[in-house]
Amino acid sequence: MIIFDPAMCCSTGLCGPVIDLELLRISTAMSNLEKNGVKVKRYNLSSNPQAFVDNIVINEILNRDGVDVLPVTIVDNKVVKTKKYPTNDELLKFLDVPESYLKAKEKLATKCSCCDDECC
C-alpha cells in the first residue's frame, strides 16, 4: 500500500501550532503496520516529488484531477481511496490483515541475568 500525501511540512501531524489528529492516526497506523511486516509507504508531495513523477498511477490522477485529490491511497497499483486517509477499518480491509496489526508490538520482557531470576 502506498499513500501519496499532499504537500506538508511533516507527515506525523505533530508540527505546527495544533496537532492534526488525523495525520497522527494515519502515521501511527502506518508505523504499526510496517512493524507487523506489512509493506506500506507514504510519500509527501513536498519532500518526495520524484515518487509522484515516477508512479504512473498517481501521475495520471494528478494530471487529470490536480492536487486536490490528495491524499491518494493505492493498493496493488489500484486506487482505493482519494481525498481522505483510509479509516482504520478500511486499512484492515484493503490490506486483509487482523486488527492487531494496527496496535504497536509490545517488547517482550527479558529476565535480568545478574540475580536469581529477580529483577536487578
Check whether 9 has a pLDDT greater than 70. Answer: yes
Residue 63: which of 53, 73, 71, 51 has the closest Cα?
53
Per-position DSSP letters for 75-120, written without gaps between them: ETTEEEEESSPPPHHHHHHHHT--GGGGSPPPPPP---SSSSSS--
Cut 0.85: pTM above it: no
Phi/psi for 75 (5° steps) reads -125, 125
Q: Do 42 and 2 touch, CB atoms closer than 8 A? A: yes
Split at pLDDT 50, 70, 90, the class of 20 is confident
Tell me what percent of the residues of the chain surpass a pLDDT of 90: 72
Span 70-120, pLDDT tens digits: 999 999 999 999 999 999 999 999 999 999 999 876 544 444 445 544 444
